[in-house]
Amino acid sequence: MARAQAPAGLRWIDAGSGEERASLSLVRSPPLRWSDDAPLPEEEGAFRLLWAEGDAPPEGLVLAAEAPDGRPLDQLEINVFRPHPCPAGAPAGRRCVASLPVRLAMDLDDRMHPAAAERSLLATLGGQVVVSRKKQRLLSAPVLAPRGGLWQSKIRVFLVRERPQGPPPFGFTDGTAEALTRAQIRRANAVWGQCGVSFGPPEAAEVKIVDPPSSALLAFGCGAAFRASGGRLSFRIEGREVAIALSPGQSAASVARRAASAIEKMGFRAVLSENLRTGAAAAPSVDLMARRRDGALLSFSSLASSDATLGVCLGSVDLSDGLQHFTDVDAVAGTLEERTLLRSVDDGDPRTIEVVLIPSFATGGRIGESFIHSDRGSLRNMILEDRAGIRADAVSFALAHELGHVLLDVPGHSDDFGRDTPGRLMDSDAADPSPFGPRRLTLAECDRALRQSGPSAAAPLLSPAAPPGRTASPRRR
Ligand SMILES: [Zn+2]
């Protein structure tokens, strides 16, 4: 049997195609019971351990999953083998055997489901899977994206209080709110791990609890965005007055630029953003925010105008009555309250995703919404989610779902065309905490995320991540 212990005969092969694999990936199909009589529907991402040296592999093979830092996560004895076609190039007459398909599960619900617990292994993106016998390591492979590689995306998370100095949007204290948020990021990592995408270690994520911005935005041309007919516009900022004379025919954009340059002359930073024209408006409206040099947001006050046609509105956020969210008419621009909130946290960096968590939306039935690149609006790569979304947690994977809209750059859902897709992350209405719930991503979706958000995309939200250095981090036992 000495020869049979040589690791050369062991390989990883794809359970579907039978092709050899250099890396493994998290399974993208729900757990189904294995039977020798009835073939399984194809399991996306499952693999087998192939023994190409004869009738039987060495006994006592153990499959172990390790975290990126080498910490042991899970293990599984592999003792059922079945005849299997040999890989191309194997000597004629050779017989090969392979294990049952093995599933690398994203979380414990998936790992422990009784239908497939005997062939599931809890694994983490960036970690590895090792085959050993009597504690001797025979073969290992990293856990990567379905086509290899690792991808990372930077999210910045803001928890917005209902009112200044009020309670956090969910949880009883700031501490529990932050812990719940990091748990959501952990879950989004597990789900997006199917596509090789990570949002970074949850404990290191940027999570801030902030007050709602008050009187922080001036919208020029709010409502119908008619041109000016002549008059005087004034407002105060940090106690100082800004006054602008409006001439007939002047556009909202031109008045906004004059206000911005007056603010810059006072030594502050002015940020102008043009909105997409909404269904009812004559021209696009333009938003103006003012910040101190250190980035702190400033408030406007004493807004007054004698112009009869050019509207200027002051944007504030008051979450005690819920956030006014967009309807079909203003979907492209967002409501004034939404824009005030989202622009207050926008860093202008197209490579980051801002996640804004609020107490609630003004009307029910909605737990999250996203502003995506293909909307072509000036609000991009931003997500709003309320506490109902946090509460739904594993039932609907709200954060991972909204991140899906942004990374896939699609407003729609997998069940938009009539066929129900309750197991897909991008299903519109599935609610199921089991491994059959809305948590799966397809290979086509993984490919699309890279196409729409990868390094060569217009909004490069995904960048390649180096596999964790195993020499740099000492192995813990
Ligand atoms: Zn959706």
**Does the residue 4 lie in any domain?**
no
**Does the residue 477 lie in any domain?**
no
**Does the residue 289 lie in any domain?**
yes
Report pLDDT for 418. Answer: 77
Query: How crowded is the C-beta side of 178, counted as CA atoms within 13 Å?
Result: 11
Q: How many domains does the chain have?
A: 3
Report pLDDT for 6. Answer: 42
Structure tokens of 38?
């009835």
In this structure, the answer to whether residues 162 and 176 fall within a common structural domain is yes
Q: Considering the entire predicted model, what is its pTM?
A: 0.90
Dist. CA 42 → ligand 1 center (Å)? 26
Query: Which of the residues in the chain have pLDDT under 70?
Result: 1-8, 55, 279-281, 326-333, 364-366, 393-396, 468-477
In this structure, the answer to whether residues 117 and 221 fall within a common structural domain is no
Dist. CA 413 → ligand 1 center (Å)? 6
Dist. CA 262 → ligand 1 center (Å)? 41
SS3 of residue 174 by DSSP:
helix
Dist. CA 404 → ligand 1 center (Å)? 8
CA separation, residue 351 to residues 354, 368, 459 (Å): 10, 21, 6
Dist. CA 426 → ligand 1 center (Å)? 6
Dist. CA 411 → ligand 1 center (Å)? 7
In this structure, the answer to whether residues 399 and 358 fall within a common structural domain is yes
In this structure, the answer to whether residues 20 and 65 fall within a common structural domain is yes
In this structure, the answer to whether residues 383 and 332 fall within a common structural domain is yes
Q: Which of 266, 294, 314 is the last residue of a domain?
A: 314
Contact 268/237 with Cβ under 8 angstroms? yes
In this structure, the answer to whether residues 47 and 130 fall within a common structural domain is yes
In this structure, the answer to whether residues 202 and 225 fall within a common structural domain is no
Dist. CA 398 → ligand 1 center (Å)? 8
**Does the residue 475 lie in any domain?**
no
Dist. CA 384 → ligand 1 center (Å)? 11
Dist. CA 307 → ligand 1 center (Å)? 41
In this structure, the answer to whether residues 413 and 429 fall within a common structural domain is yes
CA separation, residue 142 to residues 71, 466, 472 (Å): 14, 12, 16
Dist. CA 94 → ligand 1 center (Å)? 51
In this structure, the answer to whether residues 18 and 94 fall within a common structural domain is yes
Dist. CA 210 → ligand 1 center (Å)? 25
Dist. CA 206 → ligand 1 center (Å)? 24
In this structure, the answer to whether residues 420 and 449 fall within a common structural domain is yes
Report pLDDT for 471. Answer: 42
Report pLDDT for 118. Answer: 94
Q: Which of 283, 314, 345 is the last residue of a domain?
A: 314
Dist. CA 174 → ligand 1 center (Å)? 28
Dist. CA 421 → ligand 1 center (Å)? 13
Dist. CA 407 → ligand 1 center (Å)? 12
**Does the residue 470 lie in any domain?**
no
**Does the residue 260 lie in any domain?**
yes
In this structure, the answer to whether residues 202 and 235 fall within a common structural domain is no
CA separation, residue 9 to residues 55, 86, 358 (Å): 11, 11, 55
Q: Which domain holds residue 173?
A: 151-212+319-464
Dist. CA 265–CA 237, nearest whole Å: 12
* Domain CATH number, residue 373: 3.40.390.10
Dist. CA 427 → ligand 1 center (Å)? 7
Dist. CA 369 → ligand 1 center (Å)? 7
Q: Which of 117, 142, 167 is the last residue of a domain?
A: 142
